[in-house]
Structure 1
Amino acid sequence: MDNIKQELIETKFAIGAIVKHRFLDFRGVIFDVDPEFNNTEEWYQSIPTSIRPRKNQPFYHLFAENGQIFYVAYVSEQNLISDVSEELPKHPEIKNIFSHFEDGKFVPLARAVN
């Protein structure tokens, strides 16, 4: 058996949480999280310096939307805040990972056990 060291990280937001960007006009549902920055340097440098985040923090993958535009976003923890609006996100990919909305967040689909 391989001896794999895993580090437990604490995140501010959970998978299924609805969040919005602190500075930019979009919101989304978290579907994955990286314990720290895990993207290209080119992508990182493309972020305006006024809102460029630290790399040593959780980064979240979101099913993001802005009006009727749907996409996937990668956002640092420091640039996210909870979205307390009553309207549920409408991103078409949500149904592929989440089964329903309950207690303020989307619930991941049950995974088949082999």
Structure 2
Amino acid sequence: MKQRDAKFAIGQVVRHKVFPFRGVIFDVDAEYSNTEEWWNSIPAEVRPDRDQPFYHLLAENDEAEYVAYVSEQNLMSDTDPMPLRHSQVDMFFDPESAGHYKPKAVIQH
């Protein structure tokens, strides 16, 4: 299996290509690393390849805020200048520029 660099970065705002949600990336897996149960819950006709980066997002749509796990092939950069309203964004990020958040510094005790 050939690994490749992730197209998107932590702190970047992205949008799903099919479903109406956007979010900020807070973690990246070089390839699929969720459960078999989750994998099998995706209909086979739309199931993405495992051999690509998968992104953990603080995601939101018009109705809800949630954490999403999305394949790279299903994401695109989000150019909407509106800041995300997800309640956890401020816990992990500082606004940096439109479409990007800067991870907060981790304080070691």
**Please, what TM-score do these two structures have when normalized by structure 2?**
0.89
- 2:22 partner amino acid: R
Match of 1:11 in 2: 6
Match of 1:30 in 2: 25
Match of 2:88 in 1: 93
Q: CA 1:58–1:109 in 2, change beyond 3 Å: closer, same or farther?
A: same
2:58 equivalent to 1:63: yes
The correspondence of residues 46-85 of structure 1 with structure 2, limited to 5 A, is 46-85=41-80
**Which structure: greater helix fraction?**
2
- 1:51 partner amino acid: V
Match of 1:3 in 2: none
2:101 equivalent to 1:106: yes
CA RMSD of aligned residues (A): 1.7
- 1:53 partner amino acid: P
Q: Which runs of 4+ in 1 moved over 3 A?
A: none
Larger Rg computed on CA atoms = 1
User: In 2, Cα distance between the equivalents of 1:50 and 1:83?
Assistant: 26
The runs of 5 or more residues in structure 2 that have no matched partner are none
Helix, strand or coil: the match of 1:50? helix
**Please, what TM-score do these two structures have when normalized by structure 1?**
0.85
